Structure 1
């Protein structure tokens, strides 16, 4: 039997709340992001055996992995219709993969832990559902580490790289612009400025890690990310594809009518 083909890694902007289960103007506002997610599986060289999802919505003292065979749900949003608090995305977990990843992280000198109770948060299930609506690809969530050190999350990505040759699709789920107070005309200029920096910083792997570690010096960086938890999944995805080119696979300049936002593929 042939070995699995090496899979790329992704940093995906995941949108807000339970948008894939909404109708009307909000859902229409996500049409370009949704198209990028629904088309992603066909762009892969092979169907993944599992997804390793690094969500911006989970932080722990150690890099922590879901280890349940059947993760539940975490409705980590507010103010949405009642039916969005009954969503179930029943993708199976993958306890053996969780243990494998924890071993890779510990072998690389970083702390790792398992959590058998953690469910899928919206950074995971709202990203995975448009890609795999049948929920038939096993998924394991991996937390960020408190402190949000870019170098540490790049190092985490490097440790995860062997999984790409084992049929595991590594996805960093965050948002290229995450200032919820400026999802309006006031965010137009800063989102465009920061995204222009991403478009310049990410394609060429030479020096990319150094550029990412200095992300806070980018134009409008702290306006785009007052707190960087939605950017740190990018570090993991880039670290897992060190030395390989990056490509923008989703770009929108009128998200919420004004915001520039993007997603990237590495490898």
Structure 2
């Protein structure tokens, strides 16, 4: 490994979108950004560590299976979307390394050999690495959603970047399932603008702004439950002094949503 991997916060789209042609067309800009994200890496990752908004636990869990199963954590989609398989190998050795790094910083964590890939992981990975030839493992969110705790998790995991691991926080910059459509336009635009401005700040001010994210305009409208925002804190904690670059931006998505993704390096 010749250079440290960047980290990312991605807006991962809706449900099993890569497997449904009409839905995939809606997320064409996201697909382009995910492909370019891979193209712009310094080299092929040794593994991808995903922090998805779809897995949370009381104590931090680390996926440690050699062959993770699938978790179809969506509802109301065609039967074939409950049969898709993303057959990437796991990374049990790196999971153990992550456990060591976390416990060294006083963070309680446990290996989990049962957890499978949720759609916050396998849908973007289907676009990024369609051959499933890069090992993938996940860590859970803490059910508390505490921003400072998740920044600390990212800081603890930062050394993995120097070992060729790409750390990706997978969520959505707007996630209010009851407000997709025109009603999302003003809140998502305002919150997205705040997020972009906050991420442009010097590192110390940026961290302070994100810790106080509930003061952002429409914060609790855009994230009534912040499971899809918290992955950002981990990704940023792992590259806390790095430059933030917006790599994806959509306006009017799903009838009104503004959404963005960022790279940190």
TM over 0.5: yes
Q: Which residue of structure 1 lines up, in the alignment, with residue 129 of structure 2?
A: 132
Distance, in Å, in 1 between the alignment partners of 2:116 and 2:105 is 26
Provide the residue aligned with 1:177 in structure 2.
174
User: Counterpart of 1:237?
Assistant: 235
Which residue of 101, 104, 126 corresponds with 2:98? 101
Per-residue CA deviation, residues 36-88 of structure 1 (Å, 9 max, x unaligned), is: 11121111111100000001000111111111100000000000001000000
**Contact 1:176 1:231 (C-alpha < 8 Å) held by counterparts:** yes
Do residues 251 (structure 1) and 252 (structure 2) align? no
1:211 maps to what in 2? 209
CA distance in 2, matches of 1:220, 1:190: 6
Do structure 1's residue 53 and structure 2's residue 47 form an aligned pair? Answer: no
Q: Map 1:148-159 to 2 at 5 A.
A: 148-159=145-156
1:110-131 deviation line (CA, Å, top 9, x unaligned) = 1100110111000000111100
Unpaired segments ≥5 residues, structure 2: none
Aligned residue among 94, 112, 117 for 1:115: 112
Query: TM-score, normalised on structure 1?
Result: 0.97
Unpaired stretches in structure 1, ≥5 consecutive residues: none
Q: Quick one: which of 194, 198, 201 aligns to 1:201?
A: 198
Are 1:77 and 2:78 counterparts? no
**Cα RMSD, aligned residues only:** 0.8
- 1:201, 1:208 within 8 Å by CA — same for their partners in 2? yes
Rounded to whole Å, the distance in 1 between the matches of 2:200 and 2:89 is 33
Match of 1:33 in 2: 30
Name the SS for the 2:21 alignment partner: coil
User: Hey, what does 2:183 align to over in structure 1?
Assistant: 186
1:23 CA drift (Å): 1.2
State the shift of 1:98 in Å: 0.5
Alpha-carbon distance in structure 1 between the residues aligned to 2:72 and 2:255 = 26
Alpha-carbon shift at residue 206 of structure 1 (Å): 3.4
Secondary structure of residue in 2 paired with 1:261: strand
Deviation of 1:190 (Å): 0.1
Segments ≥4 residues shifted beyond 6 Å:
none
